């Protein structure tokens, strides 16, 4: 697990914000990813919420230099396998099941498992995980909740996702147990629809600057 944890950390440390993307048209995936990378956001989570998702992951993995293509909303072993086959270097789940843990054990591609309660975090720690997705962040208690977990569950790092924006991202990033945050605000649907890649690069650069 330690090798995969190191691999996971190396990805999540690339930037303070991981874009969470819902791609409806696979043709937009490559220019969108290039725009995000140009703004400093190399690690990209493409969620398996649309029929275009796997094709989008394949395209980004194959064609976008510097991008680290990840797959999100992975709910079962079959999706895990499909995402890895498409070229995903990171697998993200909104929660955790024993099925996901078992399939993750069979792959070198790291899993960022989801947790929302102290009990779920403890269960994942027993499985050898100490880096997790906190989801849905705002609805599950927000930055205050994560701050409260930092002492009793010391040594656990989180990537909070859900309801996070430029306005509240620093509240999370200032916490000792937060390594990065996930957010969709860096690729708003209206800019994607217009093909405003320069506008998305600007938003990505603003998000990248949150590290400072």
What per-residue string of b and e applies to 51-71 under the rule 16 or more CB within 10 Å gives b? ebbbbbbbbbbeebeebbbbb
The answer to whether 134 touches 161, Cβ cutoff 8 Å, is yes
Across-strand partners of 68?
A: 43
Helix, strand or coil, per DSSP, at residue 53: helix
Catalytic status, residue 133: yes
Please give the structure tokens belonging to residue 108.
């070198």
Catalytic pick among 4, 42, 45, 89: 45
Q: Which of 133, 138, 189, 206 is catalytic?
A: 133
Is 45 labeled as catalytic in the residue annotation? yes
Positive/negative CA dihedral, 186, 208, 160, 141: negative
Q: What is the set of active-site residues?
A: 45, 133
């Amino acid at each position: 697990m330690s090798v995969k944890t190191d691999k996971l950390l190396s990805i999540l440390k690339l930037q303070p914000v991981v874009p969470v993307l819902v791609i409806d048209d696979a043709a937009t995936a490559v220019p969108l990813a290039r725009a995000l990378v140009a703004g400093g956001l190399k690690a990209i989570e493409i969620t398996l919420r649309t029929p275009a998702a796997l094709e989008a992951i394949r395209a980004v993995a194959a064609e976008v230099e510097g991008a680290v293509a990840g797959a999100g909303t992975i709910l079962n072993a079959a999706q895990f396998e499909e995402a890895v086959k498409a070229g995903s270097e990171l697998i993200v789940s909104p929660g955790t099941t024993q099925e996901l843990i078992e399939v993750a054990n069979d792959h070198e591609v790291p899993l960022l498992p989801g947790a929302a309660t102290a009990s779920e975090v403890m269960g994942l720690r027993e499985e050898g995980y100490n880096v997790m997705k906190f989801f849905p962040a705002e609805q599950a208690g927000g930055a205050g909740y994560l701050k409260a977990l930092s002492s009793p569950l010391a040594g656990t790092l989180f990537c909070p996702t859900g309801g996070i924006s430029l306005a509240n991202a620093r509240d999370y990033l200032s916490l000792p147990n937060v390594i990065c945050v996930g957010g969709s605000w860096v690729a708003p649907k209206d800019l994607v629809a217009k093909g405003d890649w320069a506008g998305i690069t600007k938003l990505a650069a603003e998000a990248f600057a949150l590290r400072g």
